[in-house]
Structure 1
Amino acid sequence: MKRGSIARGKKVNLLNVHQMEFEPEVLEDIQTNNSETPRIPHIIHFIFISGLQGKDGIPWFYKPNVNSFLHFNPNLTYYFWTKKSARNLISLRQPDLLSTWDNYPLVINKADALRYVLLYEFGGVYVDLDMKCMRPLDRATIKYACILTPEPFEHSAILFKIPFLLSTAFMMCRPKHPFMKQAILSLQEFSRRRNMLAIAGPLFLTTMFKRYNKFQPGDEFRMKTDFESNSPYFYKGSLRQDHNNAVYVANTLYFMSSFDTQVNFQRVCNDTQRRIVKRGCFLWNKRKNSKTKHPFSYTDHKWAHIYSVDELTHMIPIENVILRSKLKIWQPGNHE
């Protein structure tokens, strides 16, 4: 069998295919079609909820990241969301969520929950401020109705002992997608979880994906059944990847290839007997010294780990970063 390919339709257990790999190699660009109308609107959403009175805008060190999206996507519309505009939106569009949102203990919980509302109400691209853009996103908005990407597999396998963990740092979706609606309706249920990532973050998103696709216990270790693309090897439910209500899981290389260098993977890898962890450690050792930038990568994550700011953080008004002609600040009464 050629590396990076699987015979179409052949059902094989995940652990028997590319024993130490989690997804095919990327040998071509993300799939698209000939449609002139994107399924995912050409909107990019940025969020920064500072948590401190008078600390508005974005921290100065995020400006280059925002500029990278502006550089490669000059014709997209940009929304910027603050605590005030976010709360106004939720109170008008998703009032049943407002009490849960108001009572979240941490700023990151509010920001995590907000992104599902934005993608449901407006559609488009949600992107964390520590993401960098390296190519125009237009091609990725054409074929699929909703795109998620796993965190690097070193994270899921080594840190969580699971084959995939879906990232909340970069998501693309059409408006009114039922997956995002399910996520919104489930936020109250998960609001008291002890693990911050399970309240509305990556563990929550991964659980929502499994629930949406009707996973049974153990299905996360099953082999995928649709081999029409180079998405990761794990099972993703029965819907065709390009179905209007499907959630397409992209190969990590397209949007999320870099692992978090602040994590001490070596400590875990020196003392493990778990097969899934060994696979993650194999991948980490293979990639840890690589500096290669892939020509098909659209974005990458810088893993800044900043959820709020302090009194010393220098903030930049968003209007000083994004031209007013490209920027939308949502106000109550807007029907957009």
Structure 2
Amino acid sequence: MFQLKLKPVCCGTSAWDRPKQCASLITLLLGCCMLVFLHVLISSEFEDEAAYFSSLSLPEEDSKLPQMGIVLMENLPVTGTPRMPKRIHQTWKSDEIPHSLTEWVKSWTKNHPDWEYWLWTDKSARHLISDRHPSFLQTYDNYPHNIQRADALRYIVLYEFGGVYADLDMESLRPLDRLAWKYSCFLGQEPYAHPILDTNTHTLVINAIMACQPGHPFMKMVVDSLPDFAHMWSLFDATGPHFLSYVYKKYMRENQQLSPTHEDWVYLTPAEYFYPNRDPDKFSYFYRQCKNYEQLNPLQRAACHNLKKTPLEEKRMALAFTNHHWVHTYLFSVKVSLRQPVPMREIVPEMKLYPEDAPVK
């Protein structure tokens, strides 16, 4: 009679090796289980930002401390003519994106049904730079990290085509038309506590969402400045938020005479507009910082009070145009997903690609 013999999973070349391999496998499995448990524990602990920071024990707020944050939205037009093309730009390495990001992509087309949707892949990105910025191609190719190429690309895309750029982990909550009717270029800033408690910097301009008309002089300054910062070892300094913040502050110093209604003005929106939630990865660090309240300077103390006064989610979202989910997609390649990536054409059938859909200059 035929017998099927199964070879044990933990088997060595000898009986002596077999117990040691089994023990190693069991240790590995236990370690994986512990990591999963810690991930679930940390995720559940940080789920409610307002509840987490409300437990901070701080002295009574001093009226002399700097004030930060808004409670009301500015007066935005309810109709008008957009001061930039109605285009949404997003980037990914290919035209298939992780399944976990698809609903956030759909939120953009849902809230902006009459806007074009552009996807920029590694292939189309290099094609664009080769076509329109060939002198930058060597710098682009020599960046040591893919996120640096992705950063540079978003600046070039906005300079060339205009519209709105948004990271794939940015969810649209309401149309951006009212902002586009009022401003020809606008940027977002990180939640107030991020730069203050991280680096003792008052403001940090972040590039996860940006909007400009094509050919805007600010975006030209950004693109022209990229080669000068390519040698920086830090991702943030070379192409990221620190780089963008430096160029923004330089541009505004050189254009102090401009009014907010001028075509060349750049509007830095309140953090509440695009980043109603702080990065959960920073919660523990911020909490420890604020526990040492007496050792902090006035700006840092004000940031701690701002954390403690975090309103409930519905109040934060009432002021928000988008919600940034802090997935850190530039690290996505090291994360494990059990679901297959989704072709972008299935999510946005009418999406546009470069160069075949490029508008005539």
Counterparts of 1:46-85 in structure 2, within 5 Å, are 46-49=90-93, 56-85=95-124
- Code of the residue aligned with 1:276 in structure 2: it is L
Q: Partner of 1:248 in structure 2? A: 267
Q: CA, structure 1 residues 132+34, in 2 after alignment: closer, same or farther (shift >3 Å)? A: closer
Q: CA, structure 1 residues 276+29, in 2 after alignment: closer, same or farther (shift >3 Å)? A: closer
- Contact 2:79/2:178, CA 8 A, preserved across alignment: no
Q: Secondary structure at the match of 2:281?
A: coil
> What's the CA shift for 1:334?
3.6
Q: Any gaps of 5 or more consecutive residues in structure 1?
A: 1-15, 50-54, 216-235
Count, aligned residues:
292
C-alpha separation in 2, matches of 1:189 and 1:243: 28
Counterparts of 1:33-48 in structure 2, within 5 Å, are 35=80, 37-48=81-92
> What's the CA shift for 1:150?
0.8
Decide which moves more: 255-264 or 279-288.
279-288
Q: Partner of 1:209 in structure 2? A: 248
Decide which moves more: 260-269 or 271-280.
271-280
Q: CA, structure 1 residues 45+17, in 2 after alignment: closer, same or farther (shift >3 Å)? A: farther
Q: Partner of 1:173 in structure 2? A: 212
> What's the CA shift for 1:149?
1.3
Q: Partner of 2:353 in structure 1? A: 329
Higher relative contact order (CA closer than 8 Å, sequence separation 6+): 1
Q: Partner of 1:150 in structure 2? A: 189
- Contact 1:26/1:253, CA 8 A, preserved across alignment: no
Decide which moves more: 180-189 or 299-308.
299-308
Q: CA, structure 1 residues 257+188, in 2 after alignment: closer, same or farther (shift >3 Å)? A: same
Q: CA, structure 1 residues 29+72, in 2 after alignment: closer, same or farther (shift >3 Å)? A: farther
C-alpha separation in 2, matches of 1:30 and 1:303: 29
- Code of the residue aligned with 1:150 in structure 2: it is Q
Q: CA, structure 1 residues 100+310, in 2 after alignment: closer, same or farther (shift >3 Å)? A: same
- Contact 2:117/2:352, CA 8 A, preserved across alignment: yes
CA RMSD, Structure 1 to Structure 2 (Å): 2.3
Q: Secondary structure at the match of 1:241?
A: coil
C-alpha separation in 2, matches of 1:32 and 1:239: 21
Counterparts of 1:103-182 in structure 2, within 5 Å, are 103-182=142-221
Deviations 1:221-273 (A, max 9, x none): xxxxxxxxxxxxxxx94421121111011122222221111112112222342
> What's the CA shift for 1:122?
0.4
- Code of the residue aligned with 2:291 in structure 1: it is N
Q: Partner of 2:45 in structure 1? A: none
Q: TM-score, normalised by structure 2?
A: 0.75
> What's the CA shift for 1:274?
2.2
- Code of the residue aligned with 2:97 in structure 1: it is I
**Of the candidates 105, 124, 133, which is equivalent to residue 94 of structure 1?**
133
- Contact 2:95/2:119, CA 8 A, preserved across alignment: no
Q: CA, structure 1 residues 108+183, in 2 after alignment: closer, same or farther (shift >3 Å)? A: same
> What's the CA shift for 1:96?
1.6
Q: Partner of 1:316 in structure 2? A: 342
- Code of the residue aligned with 1:301 in structure 2: it is H
C-alpha separation in 1, matches of 2:95 and 2:129: 19
Q: CA, structure 1 residues 57+203, in 2 after alignment: closer, same or farther (shift >3 Å)? A: same
Among all aligned residue pairs of Structure 1 and Structure 2, give the percentage whose two residues are the same amino acid. 35
Deviations 1:137-192 (A, max 9, x none): 21111111100111101101111211100010010110000111111111111111
- Contact 1:146/1:247, CA 8 A, preserved across alignment: yes
> What's the CA shift for 1:125?
0.2
C-alpha separation in 1, matches of 2:346 and 2:145: 28
Decide which moves more: 115-124 or 194-203.
194-203
> What's the CA shift for 1:300?
1.3
Does residue 300 (structure 1) correspond to residue 300 (structure 2)? The answer is: no
- Contact 2:162/2:213, CA 8 A, preserved across alignment: yes
**Of the candidates 279, 283, 291, which is equivalent to residue 260 of structure 1?**
279
- Code of the residue aligned with 2:67 in structure 1: it is E
Does residue 21 (structure 1) correspond to residue 40 (structure 2)? The answer is: no
C-alpha separation in 2, matches of 1:278 and 1:238: 33
**Of the candidates 296, 306, 322, which is equivalent to residue 283 of structure 1?**
306
Does residue 186 (structure 1) correspond to residue 225 (structure 2)? The answer is: yes
More helix by share: 2
Q: Any gaps of 5 or more consecutive residues in structure 2?
A: 1-61
- Contact 1:22/1:163, CA 8 A, preserved across alignment: no
Q: CA, structure 1 residues 334+239, in 2 after alignment: closer, same or farther (shift >3 Å)? A: same
- Contact 1:179/1:245, CA 8 A, preserved across alignment: yes
Q: Partner of 2:43 in structure 1? A: none
C-alpha separation in 2, matches of 1:311 and 1:170: 23
Q: Indicate the structure (1 or 2) with the bigger Cα radius of gyration.
A: 2
- Contact 1:39/1:144, CA 8 A, preserved across alignment: yes
> What's the CA shift for 1:332?
6.3
